[in-house]
Amino acid sequence: MTLEDARRLDAADPLRDYRERFDLPEGVVYLDGNSLGALPKDTPARLEQVVRGEWGNGLIRSWNDADWITLPQRVGAKIAPLIGAEADEVIVCDSVSVNLFKLIGAALNMRPGRKVILSEPGNFPTDLYMIAGLEAQGLAERRLAAPGDLEAALDGDVALLMLTHVHYKAGRTHDMVRLTRAAQDAGALVLWDLSHSGGAVPVDLAACNADFAVGCGYKYLNGGPGAPAYAYVAKRHHAALSQPLTGWMGHAAPFAFTDDYAPAPGASRLLAGTPGILGIAALEVGVDLIAEIGINRLAAKSRALSEFFRKCAAEKLPDLELVSPLDPLARGSQLSFRHTQANAICQALIARGIIGDFRDPDILRFGFAPAYVSFEDVFLAAEGLADIISTRAWDKPEFQQRAAVT
Ligand SMILES: Cc1ncc(COP(=O)(O)O)c(C=O)c1O
Ligand SMILES: Nc1c(O)cccc1C(=O)C[C@H](N)C(=O)O
């Protein structure tokens, strides 16, 4: 693989012009959009308009005049086609963690007599911690089973199977259709965390008959640091859904100011407090851009990018252990490698302007956000990685320390 190969692939890439729609710094190869997506060029102007025009001038009138009040539903409706949902099945609000709490609570309410939440060891920590919180309240019981043992662990005590579609560290995917069916056959509900899928990997919540899902706004949807998350509830559960964070914005008539809670219709009852308008406005810009490109084109490019990286790396570093699946259809939009010096290598790459990340204890992770990563980026990153490993350029005191945030 050569730089010319990479440039040829870029020239033939139907998405190549979308890179210009992002504000990427010169000289940086950014392979960490699976942790924090890049800044769309339209976002600052949109935020300026919301801050100065809608907030500054419009003041409180903007809840009506700028239709702030329906922004969570409107942006949710734009995310819906990316994940195989209908417009009114998705709402934007809170963080993934908080939405997990709401939906685990909802599942427990819908399965009285069952307390077990089944997940896998090594799932993203917040998913496991949110179960732990409910466990400490005596409301849930956590059960963990390795991917191959999940089906056997589904018994009559399981209220909810809760998994992350694309594993944050390994990048492997779960078979959503098979596992959803198995859980439902055992009388359980299913909640998918789509944080590493939405905007990069096709997901069809309707086809797999999922009950619930959550996903992240700040990764492939490019909503910005701490962007609000989204939550999905299948329409068949809308009438019965009862979630524990019964805040006033999820009320059927918040401005009736009544003493008693009555849930808003459908997924809107997942709202709790006042939506963060600036955050959702920024997310909307990222979602519009991703929706304009379309998930199938994004997924095709994602697979091509990760395959190109994998081949470049394998050619230059045949001994480097690939942790992610070889089959591009069995992984998300990332590649992870194991190396005892993963942290130092990651720091050395960052010093050269090649940004991937390190996941404790020994994983080097590269994300390929297909909307803005080029084949040339991928070639340069693989070349830098090979150089750093083969020359031991990582072996310097300044690369040994762990950053506070990795
Ligand atoms: C799979 C997964 N779930 C949840 C989260 C956390 O989401 P939040 O920070 O919105 O709670 C992340 C990343 O931070 C993640 O990778
Ligand atoms: N949310 C993050 C943050 O605030 C700082 C650093 C990283 C993150 C992440 O999103 C981590 C990410 N979910 C992961 O897959 O590792």
Of ligand 1's listed atoms, the one at least distance from the Cα of 166 is 1
Binding residues for pyridoxal 5'-phosphate are 97, 124-127, 164, 193, 196, 218, 248, 274
> How far is CA 331 from each of CA 39, 168, 231, 368, rounded to the nearest angstrom?
25, 10, 23, 12
Q: List the domains of the chain with CATH numbers.
A: 3-30+295-399 (3.90.1150.10), 44-293 (3.40.640.10)
> How far is CA 335 from each of CA 108, 120, 127, 278, 315, rounded to the nearest angstrom?
35, 20, 22, 33, 15
CB of 168 shorter than 6 A to ligand 2: yes
Of ligand 2's listed atoms, the one at least distance from the Cα of 195 is 13
How does pLDDT run along the chain (406 residues), one tens digit per residue? 999 999 999 999 999 999 999 999 999 999 999 999 999 999 999 999 999 999 999 999 999 999 999 999 999 999 999 999 999 999 999 999 999 999 999 999 999 999 999 999 999 999 999 999 999 999 999 999 999 999 999 999 999 999 999 999 999 999 999 999 999 999 999 999 999 999 999 999 999 999 999 999 999 999 999 999 999 999 999 999 999 999 999 999 999 999 999 999 999 999 999 999 999 999 999 999 999 999 999 999 999 999 999 999 999 999 999 999 999 999 999 999 999 999 999 999 999 999 999 999 999 999 999 999 999 999 999 999 999 999 999 999 999 999 999 9
CB of 358 shorter than 6 A to ligand 2: no
Q: Where are the beta strands (DSSP E) in 121-216?
A: 141-144, 158-164, 189-193, 212-215
- Phi and psi dihedrals of 206, rounded to 5? -70, -45
Distance 161 CA to ligand 2 centre (A): 23
The ipTM assigned to this model is: 0.97
The residues that are catalytic are 124, 193, 218-219, 365
Q: What is the pLDDT of residue 243?
A: 98
Of ligand 2's listed atoms, the one at least distance from the Cα of 34 is 15
Q: Where are the beta strands (DSSP E) in 59-217?
A: 90-92, 116-119, 141-144, 158-164, 189-193, 212-215
Q: Give dist(CA 272, CA 105) in Å, integer.
A: 14
Nearest in space to 158 (alpha carbons), one of 176, 143, 139: 143
* Two tokens, residue 5: 């190969």
Distance 51 CA to ligand 2 centre (A): 27
CB 200, CB 333: distance < 8 Å: yes
CB of 372 shorter than 6 A to ligand 2: no
CB 199, CB 61: distance < 8 Å: no
Which stretch of DSSP H or E encloses residue 176? helix 176-185
Distance 127 CA to ligand 1 centre (A): 8
Residue of 32, 34, 35, 363 best suited for mutating to test ligand 2, as the one with most atoms within 8 Å of CB: 35
Q: Give dist(CA 216, CA 95) in Å, integer.
A: 8
Q: Give dist(CA 160, CA 170) in Å, integer.
A: 23
Q: Give dist(CA 132, CA 112) in Å, integer.
A: 19
Q: How many degrees, rounded to 5, is the angle at CA 395 between CA 394 and CA 396?
A: 100
Q: Which ligand is nearest to the CA of 94?
A: 1
Binding residues are 97, 124-127, 164, 193, 196, 218, 248, 274
CB 120, CB 145: distance < 8 Å: yes
